[in-house]
Structure 1
Amino acid sequence: MACLHDHDCEDHDCSSDWSLYKHIDLPKVSALNEAVPGSVNSIFKAWEQRLDSSGGYLESNEGDPELLVFIPFTSDVKIKSISVVGGPDGTSPSKMRVFINRDGIDFSDAQGMQPVQEWDLVENFQGVLEYQTRYSRFQSVGNLTLHFPENFGAETTQIHYIGLRGEATQLKRDVVATIVYEITPNPSDHKTRAESGGAFSRVE
């Protein structure tokens, strides 16, 4: 099985490396400029199913190839590389720009902001090409925004699969351990020394 260029698949289970999709908060995934609302959810799947488009794919609106994909995670993750499978006939994205831990980015924001990293993409129909991240910058990632500003000349952009390789941490998003303190003390729990047989009287 063909896989990533930085290790030999004969001694390695490729699919296990692409397991971050299990940590994607799918109900909260979204895309701007998608032709079919909600179709972005279909492009996140197990690595071995990356070429199966029977469940649909993400496509931009006619005449506007730009796409913006927001990917939140259920726990903080570390991302080593990203794989993108695009469509045929010039519909594959040709550039990818990435933002980390930024909520609510729109196209105007994305165009005006400096990405954490960007890549010139090639047409990757088998999903065996990966784009290495600057790993030190992709630590403690709570959400990821992928900006695809252009494609290879078609009227629309198609994305059939996005794979994320890395590892999840134990830190869950939006789950904070809280300690409840007593706001109004119970007088029986706070007796003065006089009440306890001490030398001081109680102060009201």
Structure 2
Amino acid sequence: MKKNKAIIFDLDGTLIDSVLDIALCMNEVLEELNLKSYEIEEYNYFLGGGVDVLVNNVLKNPSKELKQLVTKRFQEVYETTLHSNTKAYEGVYELLKQLQNRGFNIAVLSNKPHKFTKGYVDKIFKQFNLKEVHGQKDAIPKKPNPQAAINIAKSFNIPCQDIYFVGDTKVDMQTANNANMISIGVLWGFRNEQELKDYGAKYIVKHPLEILDIVN
């Protein structure tokens, strides 16, 4: 086995099931402003690109003023607390435990704002030593730009081509490929198998523990 091993996980739709809380908060904002709200399941196709993309998706070509208003209200409603419906997917705890036992450096890279990315990781995965946890930051381009992933590789002192990148959307597969990392697409998140294949997933898994077979 290689001495230095690393794996980077997306957060929403990969490690945590957060779609219900995001959808409820966004629908609250839309209804407050007398705008069209959506079924919970529809949010699976709105998420993955951060707040900016989420707002664009629910508003469909909004004016600059409306986009700013909805973004501000959503941040006020959603980003004031950690939500109780958000939880780890089944099998994720065991996966992280096994990876930790096998000496992996484990990181999280999300397009969720950094404060809340770190907040959810600290709350839900506090028993694990996740060495690098990064959400969206003003100074670093968000995924699929590879810069943040490359920065994590440098912090681990491990070549990008030796690092696994795990996610549930095309954005994650693009990030992995842009960073020259090994992409693993997961089917329990926000998107389907075809999207992951179309955007270059090297591996596709249906359950978290299948990742152990790949990294071995």
TM-score range, shorter chain: under 0.3
More helix by share: 2
- TM-score normalized by the length of structure 1: 0.25
Higher strand share: 1
> Is the radius of gyration larger for structure 1 or structure 2?
1
Structure 2 length-normalised TM: 0.24
